[in-house]
A and B are shown apart, each in its own frame.
Chain A
Amino acid sequence: MTVRASVDGIDVVVPEGTLIIRAAETLGTFIPRFCDHPLLDPVAACRMCLVEIEGMPKPQASCAVTLTEGMKVRTQMTSQVAEQAQAGVMEFLLINHPLDCPVCDKGGECPLQNQAMTAGRPDSRFGGPKREFPKPLAISTEILLDRERCVSCARCTRFSEQVAGDPFIDLLERGSDQQVGIAHDEPFNSYFSGNTIQICPVGALTSTSYRFRSRPFDLVSVKTTCEHCASGCALRTDYRRDFVMRRLAWEDPAVNEDWNCDKGRFAFTYMRHGRLSAPLVRGSDGVLHEVSWSEAIAFAAKGLSALSPSVAALLGGRLTNEDAYSFAKFTRLVLQSDNIDFRNRPSSGEEADFLAHHVAGTGLVVTYEDLENAPIVLLVSLEPEEESPIIFLRLRKAYRKSGLKVAVIGPLLTRGLRKLGAQLLSTVAGGEAATIDSLLAGDLRGSQSVLTALKKKGAVILVGERAASSAGAYSASIDLANETGAKLAWVPRRAGERGALDAGALAGLLPGGRLMADAAARADVARVWGVEPSDLAVRRGKPQEKILREISEGKIDALITAGLQISDAPDVDTFKQALSEAKFIVSFEQRLSDVSSYAHVILPVASVIEKGGSFTDWEGRVRHFNRALNDSPAVSDSTVLGMLAKEMGAPNTGWRIDEVQYEMAKLLGEGPTGTKKEFKRAGAPTIEAADVKAPPSGSAVLSTWHQLLDLGVMQGPEEHLAGTRRPSQVIISPGRAKQLGVATGDLVTVSTVNGVVTLPVEIDEIHEDSVWLPMNSPGSQVLVTLKAREGATVKVAKA
């Protein structure tokens, strides 16, 4: 339904329910505003957007009135009443606003400053004392508040309450004493707090890390893609003289809308600390020495040539699509090996089969928009707020706006899930498949509405990468999708995983989900690579866990690693063992890592701002970005692989980014040259649900996932951000707490034969047989300390 009305005498036809301020925008008329934000509920508090409406005695707030049939609206462009009303409000807003624009971070990009130019007076009629507050007020370690600059538009408080679901800030006091504030000892530790800085129409909110660092007009802005997780946020990277000053969310309605998370916003300084500037080669003295690029490439090529094809490539999930693709190609073509895996995390053969069958090269199947319009979204082994925060925001939006039903198969309704009004289908880790089976069989208590909703058109199942630790979970998810007709999507945590999968960085898979074993698919890839099908590796390779074992068994001799960390691996000991026994290790690094001490050659590569490329988000949407710092001498992994390939005498096929992207477009069906062909796909995994047995007394089944802000290396030096982390705690059920005789905050130990984690306890309605630990947070590094993965049986005791 549309309505016809007029704005400033110009006819407009807009959908029913369109706000006047939006309708005016379609005509190119910008009505000044402060409190209005298209993604927040109207509040009409600032009164800046007043317009005249024929037949109404008073000017009306155009941000809160919808256009109705025949309505005649006159904005400041044609109405003196509107113009004067706006000028009056602007004058009021400025009386208490400090004249500190020259030192204010917002100066130069400030809606108040800009609109004061159009709606303000040249001089002030106010002669009294201005309102003052002590400043700045640290409302968290990351966010600072200058209350005297605030215009009480309530964008920040509404964002926190409505969008993030974290009402940790609110307006306090009344009248001219009104101010934004936090509760005593309850800082603004929201994962999305940085967005409030960006939507603040004045300089009242600033970040500790950027405050007073730069002026907007000295910055060069580049559109980039976030490298932290698979949500795929478009970012604005602002740099000054080859130095990134800050990052913001770039508006992208299809993906992150106007938002991003604090990790994406603030965790970028890892790029400037401890970077390697020259290649390192381990000398006969056993020590790493800086060498020239030509020496390092020659050394690496010689080592790899000698051991090829007994070589494997481990990629770790952080690479851009282009780099992952180049590794996939280099391994098959130059190393003559299919030993490649992008998953340096708990993974499984079932997962590899699932990905090959259902995910690799399928393009956009489920989108953010699908989540928003779904009748239900069922989450399996996925904690969206911690593992894919933009999915969380979109689910919350749909839950608030259209009552989206969210159901989750997991051990606990976390705070994040409660913000989605989620229904819990409770299970211990490892019981996901069994739960899905009984959901389908209709004998899971209280789940009938979930099953009914899943059968509706548009229903979505999201399965997270942690399903790899739960035998049968991927298989059961496919069954559930097939039985109900719901769409099924896979949500990895890291930004590079989906792209690496599509690029063929997994044993047995060529780019675009083509099977190595399929002669037609091999021929197609070989054609694009300009080689014969027989030039590609033939023997089916191994996944990471087997690769590591085979190194220890002497079956694989050499390794190439890229952006890898031992502490992420599911079995740290085996990893270290393999690294120490490998005959030759070439490591692609931005900074020294825990792999470096084992490596024979370390090749320094570019960070995401020093190269162009793309990431593929969980949807399968390719998120291109341009090189931000053009003067950086750093080179991409692809370029380095090209140098190695040349040195090793490989066929001269493209390794430059434009060549890589051209090839990828051909193979993955993206862009104008893209031709997506259908090849044979892998079959679905059919792993039976594991038997779930109750743990013995004193023990529990471990549930664990990464918190958004944790000990991840890319958050490394950002201590202001680290201050907003959630506290590390162990979660047990009230029954277990009673059994152990512990109260909230008491110390509890969780242990395996390998180690002990001791943390304060939080008592929550978690599955009676479960215990939860943060995966990689201060005091709780599950893989390193307990050497256990999700679903393991662990001992729980009072400390």
Chain B
Amino acid sequence: MAAKRSSQKLRPIITEHWDDPNLFTLAGYQKVGGYKALKAALKKTPDQVIELVKASGLRGRGGAGFPTGMKWGFVPKKGDKPRYLVVNADESEPGACKDVPLMLADPHLLVEGVIITSYAIEAKEAFIYIRGEVPEAVRRVSWAVKEAREAGLIGRNVAGSDYSLEVTVHAGAGAYICGEETALLDSLEGFRGQPRLKPPFPAVAGLYAAPTVINNVETIANVPFIVTNGAEWFRGYGTEKSPGFKLWAVSGHVERPGIYEAPFGITMRELLDYAGGVRYGRDVKFWIPGGSSVPMLTAEHLDIPLTYEDLAAAGTMLGTGTPMVFDTTTSVVKAVTRWLEFYKHESCGKCTPCREGTYWVVDILQRFEQGDGKKTELKLLDDLSNQIEGRSFCALGDAAATPFPAAMKYFADEFDLATKTPVDKTFDPAATMLKSPVAV
């Protein structure tokens, strides 16, 4: 089925001007046409902007791929409560690195998108919740907001219109769970970040119990382009179900890790080519399409078009669209153990399956890593994954249950081996390091 589609080439749109060292300033952004989309949007009615985004088919870039226009449409426009836009810039998924570079290179694009989106949902206040471990991004976005405010693009009468908007930049305090949208809201309100019971959904009762739209940074960054160029233009990229283009942040054992912008439907093999292939000419052992929360694939799957629908058909997910590549020096047992250690460390503790499940699974996996696993425990690990998945409170618990079953599907032998031999004896830990000497 992959062969039927024409191969998609690199096409910088969001990233077109990232080479410009002054892009992060208002002047630099305006030089390349920045804030023209805002002016165009302000000439439309808010509902027209929503309809435009609905027509474009833009899907959320935060991992779940929910249609953005539809999400905006859920927000009730009547009622005495204020409406809020919250931008989820708490990019913490292992392997995901697309929002932070965007905020560093082109913060005004985010700000412009925030203003347009706020206008569309008729919010008078927007919040950008940025991962606290990246102070550079917090500084750049704060600076951009300040510049925009001084230029009359934020505050009373945005760009001379009747519309007024305040934008607040907020730095998180370093918890993976705060990337879960309702936990993010709790954290933003000053509480301990733990996911909230849904319903009510944020569109009805989100921040301060008011209707709230929560969008990912990259999602918001698409909005100005859609406003400028129209829905048809946007749909000209990608596939019907996955329209548009994507920042593919390729990392891991590749020669040139980085962000490659291309329409949906490009394959991993093509992305690998752009990234200079697997380092030292080695082979791909396994790769994950979008963050550690989605099941891994192997070299057999390199020609699957990277779209929501094709990856779902292959038993995985597009996730954040940030492929991580692992070469043949990698122990899958060790990789899965590290991921689970991450999920254990980052479990918020609210629900039993995630809190206790990750505690237990890590205990077992760490013994496997030492070559001390028991064969019966493979069945147990499978059971435990099933006991977590679909039982936890939020999607992050489900995510903790994905690495092991996928790894077992393709690399059961390695887990078998780890019942006898320590992983480091089978796979030289030095060889798998990113900076490993060539001749290992």
Residues from chain B with a CB closer than 8 A to the CB of A129 are 363
Mask of B332-372 contacts with A, CB within 8 angstroms, 1/0: 00000000000011111111110111111001100000000
* Given A46-B351, A96-B356: 12 more A-B contacts, CB < 8 Å: A42-B197, A44-B351, A88-B383, A88-B387, A89-B352, A92-B355, A92-B356, A127-B363, A151-B352, A175-B347, A176-B356, A178-B350
Decide if B207 is an interface residue (CB 8 Å cutoff): no
With A43-B197, A171-B192, A178-B355 given, is the CB distance from A152 to B386 under 8 Å?
no
In the complex, which residue of chain B has the Cβ closest to the Cβ of A50? B391
Cβ of B380 and Cβ of A125 under 8 Å apart?
yes
Residues of B within 8 A of A92 (CB): 352-353, 355-357, 360, 387
User: In the complex, how many angstroms separate the beta carbon of B383 from the nearest chain A beta carbon?
Assistant: 8
Q: How far is the CA of A58 from the CA of B356 in the complex (A)?
A: 19
List, in ascending order, chain A residues with CB within 8 A of B350's CB: 45, 152, 178
User: Which residues of the partner chain A approach B358 to less than 8 Å between Cβ atoms?
Assistant: 175-176
Task: Return 10 A-B CB contacts under 8 Å, by A number.
Answer: A48-B352, A50-B391, A57-B390, A88-B353, A88-B387, A131-B359, A152-B355, A174-B348, A175-B347, A178-B349
* Interface bits B363-397 vs A (CB < 8 Å: 1, else 0): 11000000000000000100100110011110000
The reply to whether A171 and B349 form a contact with Cβ atoms under 8 Å apart is: yes
Q: In the bound complex, what is the Cα–Cα distance between A42 and B358 (angstroms)?
A: 24
Smallest CB–CB gap between A779 and chain B, Å? 37
Q: Does A243 contact B (CB under 8 A)?
A: no
A88 to B358, CA, bound (A): 13
Contacts from A to B (Cβ < 8 Å): 42-48, 50, 57-59, 64, 85, 88-89, 91-93, 95-96, 125-129, 131, 151-152, 170-171, 173-178
Quick check: A47 and B353 within 8 Å, CB to CB?
yes
Q: Provide the residues of chain B in CB contact with A58, threshold 8 Å.
A: 390-391
Tell me, in angstroms, the Cα distance from A391 to B111 when the chains sit together: 52
Which positions in B face A, CB cutoff 8 Å? Answer: 175, 177, 192, 197, 344-353, 355-360, 363-364, 380, 383, 386-387, 390-393
Contact A47 B344 (CB under 8 A): no
9 A-B pairs with the lowest CB-CB distances in the bound complex, closest first: A178-B349, A88-B387, A128-B363, A92-B356, A175-B347, A58-B390, A176-B359, A174-B349, A175-B349
Cα distance, A213 to B233, chains bound together (Å): 77
Least CB distance, A132 to chain B, in whole angstroms: 13
Contact B391 A88 (CB under 8 A): yes
Contact A175 B348, beta carbon cutoff 8 Å: yes
Pairwise interchain contact B355-A175, C-beta atoms closer than 8 A: yes
Chain B's closest residue to A170 (CB) is: B192
**Which residues on the A side are within 8 Å of B346 (C-beta)?**
174-175
Query: Contact: A59 with B391, CB < 8 Å?
Result: yes
Minimum distance in angstroms from B207 CB to a CB of chain A: 19
A50, A59, A93, A128: most-surrounded residue (chain B CB, <10 A): A128
Cβ of A174: which chain B residues have Cβ within 8 Å of it? Answer: 175, 177, 346-349
Interface of B is mostly: helix
Asked whether A46 and B390 contact (CB < 8 A) given A95-B360, A175-B344, the answer is no
Question: Distance (Å) between the CB of B234 and the closest chain A CB?
Answer: 31
Interface-central residue, B177, B197, B383, by most chain A CB under 10 Å:
B197
Interchain CA distance A263-B387 in the complex, whole Å: 44
**What is the distance, in angstroms, from A349's C-beta to the closest C-beta of chain B?**
52
Cβ contacts under 8 Å, A48 to chain B: 352
Please tell me if the beta carbons of A89 and B353 are within 8 angstroms of each other in the complex: yes
Q: Are A88 and B351 neighbours in the complex by a CB distance under 8 Å?
A: no
Is the Cβ of B392 less than 8 Å from the Cβ of A93?
no
Please give the distance in Å from B344's CB to the nearest CB on chain A.
6
Query: Residue of B at shortest CB range from A96?
Result: B356
A85 and B346 CA atoms in complex are apart in Å by: 23
**Contact assessment for A47 and B197 in the assembled complex, using a CB-CB cutoff below 8 Å:** no
In the complex, how many angstroms separate the beta carbon of A175 from the nearest chain B beta carbon?
4
How distant is A80 from chain B, measured CB to nearest CB, in Å?
A: 13
List A contacts of B355 (CB < 8 A): 92, 152, 175-176, 178
Docked-complex contact A47 and B351, CB < 8 angstroms: yes
Bound Cα distance from A44 to B351, whole angstroms: 8
Given that A174-B347, A176-B349 are contacting pairs, would A96 and B192 also be in contact in the complex, using a CB cutoff of 8 Å?
A: no
Partner of B393, one of A47, A131, A151, A175: A47
Chain B residues within an 8 Å CB radius of A50: 391
- Contact A89 B391, CB 8 Å, known A46-B351, A152-B355, A175-B355: yes
B351 to chain A, nearest CB (A): 5
CB-based contact A152/B387 at 8 Å? no
In the complex, chain A residues whose CB is within 8 Å of the CB of B192: 170-171
Chain A nearest CB from B347 CB (Å) reads 4
Contact B175 A47 (CB under 8 A): no
B360: chain A residues within 8 A (beta carbon)? 92, 95, 126, 128
Contact A45 B344 (CB under 8 A): no
A42 to B393, CA, bound (A): 13
A471–chain B nearest beta-carbon distance, Å: 46
Are B197 and A152 interface neighbours, CB within 8 A? no
> A151-B352, A175-B347 known; A47 and B391 CB under 8 Å?
yes
Q: Which residue of B lies closest to A88 (CB)?
A: B387
Closest to A43 in B: B197
- The residues of A that contact B347 with a CB separation of less than 8 Å are 174-176
Closest to B354 in A: A175
Closest B residue to A94 by beta carbon equals B356
- Chain A residues, CB < 8 A from B352: 45-48, 89, 92-93, 151-152
| Residues of A with C-beta under 8 A to B175 | 174
Q: Which B residue's beta carbon lies closest to that of A179?
A: B349
User: Within the assembled complex, what's the spacing in Å between the Cα atoms of A129 and B362?
Assistant: 12
CB distance from A271 to the nearest CB of B (A): 42
Q: Is the CB of B359 within 8 A of A95?
A: yes
A126 to B353, CA, bound (A): 14
Determine how close the nearest CB of chain A comes to the CB of B279; give it in whole angstroms.
34
- Give A44 Cβ to nearest chain B Cβ, in Å: 6
Min CB distance, A37 to chain B, in Å? 15
Choose from A45, A95, A96 the contact partner of B351 (Cβ within 8 Å).
A45
